[in-house]
């Protein structure tokens, strides 16, 4: 076999680099042709498309629902639509109707805002965060209490039956948790403790609000080079208390010293 068939540095053809060079040349030719076609298209006169939108019944420029134009953002409207649909489905459940005799006697706007924390409703079950923040009666309406009936269905090898461990007369389901006659005294203590805790919860909420307001006040307050309490001639330390909803101690800057 001649030496030139393997290619060398002497410029003989047929070497291993010749194929790559040919492909690059073909690629360059393709680029030149594409550039020429694009340049020719740009230089040509543009043909306008004449479309009569009045004849197109399926084209609309604004969103509408049931023949009325939407006044909300489309994304906000879809979230609200989903929330309302979920709420309607939730209130139509048998367990909800069994627990709430008159659905019109419930302040749904504030109640659902508390239950779902002003978020769109995507599921009928609470998450871990919801479980830690919501109360048992809210979980009861959703039917997710870990009753013996539910636990026996999940783990029949552990729970032999679902009878109430207090009365041993009926299965422990969502209703029996609250209607068991042997738990009335315990429920009374729980409700008394909850009612007695309302002032404590209120004070904690007010304290948290004051702390947040104080934090915002400190962030927006300009920094002075010297910030000290003002003392009068008797040595009394004067501190003024703000009359707003937070209790922030405001210190007066020291007066300039006499030269």
Domain boundary among 130, 151, 169: 130
Mention every residue, 6+ apart, whose C-beta is less than 8 A from residue 151.
158, 159, 162
Return the H-helix or E-strand segment holding 177.
helix 176-179
Domains: count for the chain: 2
Would you say residue 120 lies in a domain? yes
Would you say residue 230 lies in a domain? no
Got the DSSP string for 45-88? PPPPP---GGG-TT--SS-EETTEE--S-HHHHHHHHHHHHHHH
- Please tell me the predicted confidence (pLDDT) of residue 164: 92
- Please tell me the predicted confidence (pLDDT) of residue 241: 40
CA–CA separation, 137 and 106 (whole Å): 14
Residue among 117, 112, 106 nearest 87 (CA): 112
CA–CA separation, 91 and 98 (whole Å): 10
Would you say residue 168 lies in a domain? no
CA–CA separation, 59 and 67 (whole Å): 14
Sites in the chain below the pLDDT cut of 70: 1-27, 51, 53-54, 59-61, 109-144, 221-259
- Please tell me the predicted confidence (pLDDT) of residue 167: 92
Q: What is the reported pTM?
A: 0.30
Return the H-helix or E-strand segment holding 240.
strand 240-241
Residue among 147, 153, 132, 151 nearest 178 (CA): 147
CA–CA separation, 97 and 187 (whole Å): 23
Would you say residue 35 lies in a domain? no
How many alpha carbons fall within 13 Å on the CB side of residue 128? 0
CA–CA separation, 7 and 53 (whole Å): 67
| Contact yes or no for 144/127 (Cβ under 8 A) | no
Q: What is the CA radius of gyration of the chain?
A: 38
Angle between helices 198-220 and 184-196 (to 10 degrees): 30
| Contact yes or no for 251/223 (Cβ under 8 A) | no
Domain range spanning residue 190?
184-217
Mention every residue, 6+ apart, whose C-beta is less than 8 A from residue 244.
213
Report DSSP state, residue 254: P
Would you say residue 118 lies in a domain? yes
| Contact yes or no for 241/247 (Cβ under 8 A) | yes
Would you say residue 78 lies in a domain? yes
């Amino acid at each position: 076999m001649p030496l030139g068939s393997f290619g060398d540095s002497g410029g003989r053809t047929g070497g291993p680099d010749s194929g790559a060079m040919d492909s690059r040349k073909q690629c360059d030719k393709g680029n030149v042709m594409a550039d020429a076609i694009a340049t020719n298209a740009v230089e040509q006169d543009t043909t306008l498309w004449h479309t009569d939108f009045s004849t197109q019944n399926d084209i609309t420029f604004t969103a509408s629902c049931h023949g009325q134009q939407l006044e909300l953002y489309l994304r906000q409207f879809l979230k609200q639509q989903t929330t309302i649909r979920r709420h309607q489905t939730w209130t139509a459940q048998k367990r909800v109707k069994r627990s709430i005799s008159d659905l019109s006697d419930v302040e749904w706007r504030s109640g659902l805002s508390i239950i779902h924390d002003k978020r769109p409703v995507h599921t009928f079950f609470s998450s871990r965060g919801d479980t830690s923040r919501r109360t048992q009666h809210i979980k009861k309406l959703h039917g997710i209490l870990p009753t013996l009936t539910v636990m026996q269905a999940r783990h029949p090898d552990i729970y032999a039956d679902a009878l109430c461990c207090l009365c041993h007369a009926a299965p422990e389901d969502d209703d029996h948790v609250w209607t068991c006659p042997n738990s009335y005294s315990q429920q009374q203590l729980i409700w008394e403790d909850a009612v007695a805790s309302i002032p404590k919860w209120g004070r904690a909420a007010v304290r948290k609000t004051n702390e947040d307001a104080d934090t915002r006040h400190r962030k927006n307050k300009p920094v002075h080079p010297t910030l000290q309490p003002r003392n009068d001639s008797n040595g009394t330390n004067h501190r003024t208390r703000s009359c707003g909803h937070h209790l922030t101690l405001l210190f007066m800057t020291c007066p300039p010293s006499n030269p």
